[in-house]
Amino acid sequence: MSGGLIVILTGGVSRRMGQPKALLPLYPGAGINFLQRIESLTEGLGAQRVVVSSLPSEQLCTQLPVVPQERPELGQLCSLLLGWQAFGEDKDWVMSFPVDHPYVRRSTVESLVEAVKAYPRASMWCPSYRKKGGHPVVFAKSLRPKLLSSPLELGARPVVRSLGEARRWVETEDPAVLWDADTPELYQRFSHMFLAEERSL
């Protein structure tokens, strides 16, 4: 394998949150924001990383390459394909990591990368918690043509639903794969749950 690419998606308009999610503190008073947390989670996995963002790169304060998303209204699939085209055409797999899922565990991300190696015939690898699928997800290189032809307004859903057994589920003990911090209310809820879990360790 020639390795993978991790695309951190911060290209949305954040209408429901009301402010850029990438810059939100992990929890109120935290010293790191959503983007920095995901950078930490994905470091040292043997994969190239890129950020796709609708924000100016200087606002992100990241050392990772940034691909500008000039049309955030086109959605996550558009942002994923921008990052894939810029840096990942030669990669065997691409991880799609939405910035509003910063609470997942490092072990979950590692398990996904390990599953890619353990089940190379799959076309997609998805984390699940109690049989419910979550994020981040990994796409095989072979899916790129289908994703390119998928209508952007529908996202990756039509392609994903067509995969059948080619989609490999990676069962985890990590509820945060389901935590989409997309509104102020959900942000408060999930950040408090994250802190409670951290304090119990």
**Per-residue pLDDT band at 44 (split at 50, 70, 90):** very high
Chain segment 167-186, per-residue pLDDT in tens:
999 999 999 999 999 999 99
**Which pTM does this prediction carry?**
0.95
7 near 97, Cβ under 8 Å?
Answer: yes
The domain spans of the chain are 4-200
Burial of 56 (0-12, 13-18, 19+ CB in 10 A): exposed
Chain segment 64-97, per-residue pLDDT in tens:
999 999 999 999 999 999 999 998 789 999 999 9
3-state secondary structure of 139: strand
Q: How many CB atoms lie within 10 A of CB 165?
A: 8
CA nearest 125: which of 88, 172, 74? 172
Chain segment 121-147, per-residue pLDDT in tens:
999 999 999 999 999 999 999 999 999
Chain segment 53-67, per-residue pLDDT in tens:
999 999 999 999 999
CATH code for the structural domain at 4-200: 3.90.550.10
CA distance 101 to 178: 8
